[in-house]
Structure 1
Amino acid sequence: MSKEKAIVLRKQVAPYEKSNTKASVWQLINTIVPFVVIWYLAYQSLSISYYLTLGLSVIGAGFITRIFIIFHDCCHHSFFKNRKLNRIVGTLTGVLTLFPYDQWAHSHNIHHATSSNLDKRGTGDMWMMTVEEYVTAPLKTRIAYRLYRNPIVMFVIGPIWVFLITNRFNVKGAKKKERMNTYLTNMLILGSAALLCWTIGWQSFLLVHGPMFWIAGSMGVWLFYVQHTFEDSYFEEDENWNFVQAAVEGSSFYKLPKPLQWITGNIGFHHVHHLSPRVPNYQLEAAHNNADPLQNVPTITLWTSIQSVKFRLWDEQKNKFVTFKDANQSVKLSKNTVISD
């Protein structure tokens, strides 16, 4: 994308970067209140049928995902105009979603600054290797990577490991403010869980919140995965990397049915979000619809997103994601060519 086109695109999106306090407050109400009601109904349903409880847990998990989008916006200071208010709401919604505000905001902002940059991977993103890196890696690294990219590990075990365990610890070199926020978040999570266990019993708490948390975590990992892992994505080495191109071509437009778009807080318009993180989630669709260059961005649907699970490695020669099988075939062909030469 040329510099001129990038400037025009940024100007078209800029009007949507301002948050609306009324819209933000309304979103808090239409997200938190239904979540509390559904949680209570799920608890009451334990005396009727656990199948009913699980059904309500699926709905509750959707609202946890929506709460996370609010938390996510607060981390970008896009939910409210006031930074302190973003921090307060972000910390509280972080308790509900098991994410420490300062820690995640820091790593996620690095992700935005380095997304699709092959030379700056490793912070706030998923582990992704190129074909060449994988082929030349030690056996233990290849085994670890295969396990990491296994759907069961990524979408079943991953949410428990990341949200419940990893998020409880500060990263190495974290500043005092970040460390204290993590401690505060952990104490609030522990206190809330203890209060509920004391009120309704630990068995009821786990039966209701356990599946709700796990489903929401799996949904979150899935969304993050498909937003950057699609066949013709964009990855470049640092010298050729372009921020706007990385946003528009390296982040997907996940075209979801309206109910799913609502429950996921419009995060399917991920290309707009990466282009301008200051656009609040409720403005993302309007920003997309009113920017002509965005009408032809990489688009994935529910069906094509399911197909993306097979992608494991980035092929720098073909500039696209490939499967392990495709990568092996490419390597064999390359070796045969060298031998024949």
Structure 2
Amino acid sequence: MMSKETSKQLRKQVAPYEKADNAASIRQLINTIGPFFLMWFLAYQSLSISHLLSLVFSVIGAGFMVRTFIIFHDCCHYSFFRNRTANRIVGTITGILTYFPYYQWQHSHSVHHATSGNLDKRGTGDIWLMTVEEYDNASFFERLKYRLYRNPFVMFVLGPIFVFLLENRFNRKGARWKERLNTYFTNVMIVGITALLCWTIGWQEFLLVQGPLFLVAGASGIWLFYIQHTFEDSYFKENEEWSFILAAVEGSSFYKLPKVLQWMTGNIGFHHVHHLSPRVPNYQLETAHNETPLLKNVPTVTLATSLQSLKFRLWDEQNEKFVTFREAKALIGQKKKEKTGFRTVSAKPE
């Protein structure tokens, strides 16, 4: 367990990297948004040559869409630019490009940061997670719904379609007018841009380019969010024992990716640094990790080992680890046997 003194020291070591560099941010905008539009254009132009070639450009464009989302993500934390208004403007624009309303997602994501790893405060801005005990006590239909939700096809293929195209189009309950207006504006712009492109190039051509780009980018985004908190030796505690620092350094993964993928995903693999200090811009995350000695031993996940997380379904509170549905069934069965055995023994006359 990390001491309070160590926690303070860790925060102090990361603090110097929290300042945004406007020049670096502008460079990132140029080398992200520019190639994104270029890949889209090339994917469209390639349709007359080969649909396969067009698909290649769409997949590359999907990578730049993920990188665009990281810029949007930083703007929501007011970490991309020093000026808050600049963050809001660029955040709204990149939100339109990635199908996310700025203020709505900013709210849910802030809640996620404040409650990540807290078993008593789940449900906003995170992936649905049940404990073994909760699953045991759930109804048949609740279990079925959870199993469908955690199915890889539903989560990584149908999930992005539902979240990006449907869920993001509606305001949350209790949203203020500023947030509501931003959502309406984002929706109008998305519909307007889509209608304009369908009118100028044709709806079939639009779908052939935007469809694969959207699906690959969406699946990649959900996967990154999934692996950042679903890995072996993760961190989940009840509210009384929960610690923001431990949730950051133990409950958020260091996803060590190949350099090309690291660049394309805006260094979000250094997620432990991001949760420790959301004000660190994405282009400073790697430096903050490398130059902070206390972060050298954080949980590390590689591209190969991350695939193992697909089998993680439920959180076992007793052993503090993820388990599969089969392992959960065995744990539930064992628990029931222990209870039955205790009752049998206690019922015997002395």
Alignment correspondent of 2:207: 206
Alignment correspondent of 1:89: 90
Alignment correspondent of 1:147: 148
Are 1:240 and 2:209 matched, yes or no?
no
The number of equivalent residue pairs is 341
Q: How does 1:1-341 map to 2 (within 5 A)?
A: 1-341=2-342
Q: State the SS of the aligned residue for 1:239.
A: coil
Q: Which has the greater radius of gyration?
A: 2
Q: Deviations over 1:127-185 (max 9, x none)?
A: 00000000001111100000000001000100000001110000111111000000000
More displaced, 278-287 or 323-332? 323-332
Q: State the SS of the aligned residue for 1:141.
A: helix
Write the letter of the residue equivalent to 2:74. D
Write the letter of the residue equivalent to 1:72. H
Write the letter of the residue equivalent to 2:234. S
CA offset at residue 340 of structure 1? Answer: 3.0
Indicate if the aligned counterparts of 1:231 and 1:322 stay in contact, CA closer than 8 A: no
Q: State the SS of the aligned residue for 2:120.
A: coil
What is the alpha-carbon distance in structure 1 between the residues aligned to residue 292 and residue 274 of structure 2?
13
What is the alpha-carbon distance in structure 1 between the residues aligned to residue 43 and residue 67 of structure 2?
18
What is the alpha-carbon distance in structure 1 between the residues aligned to residue 102 and residue 336 of structure 2?
48
More displaced, 328-337 or 204-213? 328-337
- Return the TM-score normalized by structure 1: 0.99
Q: Deviations over 1:78-105 (max 9, x none)?
A: 0000000000000000000000000000
Write the letter of the residue equivalent to 2:321. K
CA offset at residue 335 of structure 1? Answer: 2.0
Q: State the SS of the aligned residue for 2:235.
A: coil
CA offset at residue 194 of structure 1? Answer: 1.2
Indicate if the aligned counterparts of 1:252 and 1:297 stay in contact, CA closer than 8 A: yes
Write the letter of the residue equivalent to 1:269. F
CA offset at residue 231 of structure 1? Answer: 1.8
Write the letter of the residue equivalent to 1:318. N
**Aligned residues: percent identity?**
70
CA offset at residue 299 of structure 1? Answer: 0.6
Write the letter of the residue equivalent to 2:11. R
Indicate if the aligned counterparts of 1:117 and 1:235 stay in contact, CA closer than 8 A: yes
CA offset at residue 303 of structure 1? Answer: 1.0
What is the alpha-carbon distance in structure 2 between the residues aligned to residue 266 and residue 246 of structure 1?
19
Q: Which stretches of structure 1, 4 residues or more, deviate above 4 A after TM superposition?
A: none
CA RMSD in angstroms comes to 0.7
Q: Deviations over 1:32-70 (max 9, x none)?
A: 111111111100000011011111111000000000000
Indicate if the aligned counterparts of 1:273 and 1:284 stay in contact, CA closer than 8 A: yes
Write the letter of the residue equivalent to 2:89. I
What is the alpha-carbon distance in structure 2 between the residues aligned to residue 147 and residue 303 of structure 1?
25
CA offset at residue 332 of structure 1? Answer: 1.4
